[in-house]
Amino acid sequence: MLIQAAVRLYGSQGFHSTGVRAICREAGLTERYFYENFAHGEALLLAAFDQVIAAVLTQIVAADDPSLPTEDRTRRMLGAYFATLRANPTTARVFLVEIVGVDPLIDEAIRRSMHDLSEPLFAALDPDDRGPVKINAMLRRGVEGGLLHIALAWGAENYKCSLEEIVAAAWILCVTARPSD
């Protein structure tokens, strides 16, 4: 209950504008319950972030269809990623905005989550199913960052572009990571 309340409040009011007391009130719990479960607000933010990542990853994996050609398969997963963020703007704000620069441990969690979220995409980009995609680590990070920035810009523009336009732009980034024959 605390985590769901934190996602709602961090996503609507911001992490720095939301105190423990407000989250407890939103969850209908006492502050004592909070401190029995979390050492501080950053720990709850990390738990909220982890929940958001798990939900987004679930949608990406559910959209995967290994029987499809590489491009169709990848576009389906990209569509799931962006559609999930658009459908849940509050959780998207936690994932895209509120988490950044809060704490070094959280920054490391962001790096890990970007890797986890992009893993199904990079796996789909291997058209011959030769095993894990072996690409330059910096290129991979660049593509992950590019996908994140597309999501940020799209949300900042109130999702004005169509999902198809966003997926098309993201596909172009992914193509740069495809292994060459």
In the chain, domain spans: 52-175
pLDDT of residue 130: 52
Contact between residue 76 and residue 63 where contact means Cβ atoms under 8 Å apart: yes
Q: Which fold has domain 52-175?
A: Tetracycline Repressor; domain 2 (1.10.357)
Can you give the pTM of this predicted structure? 0.85
pLDDT at 181 over 70: no
pLDDT at 24 over 60: yes
Task: Annotate 42-81 with DSSP letters as a single string.
Answer: HHHHHHHHHHHHHHHHHHHHHH--TTS-HHHHHHHHHHHH
pLDDT at 159 over 80: yes
pLDDT digits (tens, 9 = 90+) for 48-107: 888 888 999 999 999 999 999 989 999 999 999 999 999 988 888 877 887 788 888 888
pLDDT of residue 105: 84
Joined together, the tokens standing for residue 12 give: 């609507």
pLDDT digits (tens, 9 = 90+) for 31-49: 999 999 999 888 999 898 8
pLDDT of residue 79: 97
**Dmax over Cα atoms in the chain, in whole Å?**
59
